[in-house]
Structure 1
Amino acid sequence: MAKPTLKPSSKGAPPAATTPSPVVGNNTAKPESGEKVPLNFRVDPEMRREFKAFAVEHDMQMVDVLKEAWAAYKREKGKG
């Protein structure tokens, strides 16, 4: 029986092993200190509207409102 012949790949050369590839879900690398990472959760539209309005009224970013609320919650619960 004849041996099958292999066609050359049209995909090109594979990436170098030393170059880290940015893969979604790659949790092996720790983010740099101070770098922001996603925190995703869903809320009802009314809460989002109220949360955003509060941030705008107090000239704050929504993430800063969340940080302050989290700090206050931890103080109240005695965990921080």
Structure 2
Amino acid sequence: MAAPSKKPNPKGLPPQSAQSAHVVGNNTSKPESGAKVPCNFRVDPEFKKRLKVFSAAHDMDMVEVFEQAVNEFIDRKGGA
């Protein structure tokens, strides 16, 4: 049987319960009301170009245009 390694454990020790109770910035809580959260998905390059041109022509952010369009679509379809 080989002798145990004398190298230090590179992973360190697991956190103690007192340390883990004070974690800040974890993803277990809801965002504040009105806060923006990421919503990442891919679109066709032509769609992105149309959205960008429309947004600039109407002096709006791309996010504003997208949110307004999706909200109107959902309202028309009787969604949530």
Give the TM-score taking structure 1 as reference length: 0.69
Which has the larger share of helix?
A: 2
- The runs of at least 4 aligned residues of structure 1 exceeding 6 Å deviation read 6-15
Number of corresponding residues: 77
Give the TM-score taking structure 2 as reference length: 0.69
* 1:19 maps onto 2:6 in alignment: no
Identity over the aligned pairs, expressed in percent?
A: 49
* 1:53 maps onto 2:53 in alignment: yes
Structure 2 match to 1:28? 28
> What is the DSSP-based 3-state SS (H/G/I as helix, E as strand, rest coil) of the residue aligned with 1:53?
helix
Q: Where in structure 1 are there 5+ consecutive unaligned residues? A: none
Greater RCO between the two (CA within 8 Å, min separation 6)?
Answer: 2
> What is the DSSP-based 3-state SS (H/G/I as helix, E as strand, rest coil) of the residue aligned with 2:20?
coil
Distance 1:58 1:12, change over 3 A: same
Opposite residue 76 of structure 1, the aligned amino acid is R
Cα distance, 1:42 vs structure 2: 0.3
Cα distance, 1:11 vs structure 2: 8.1
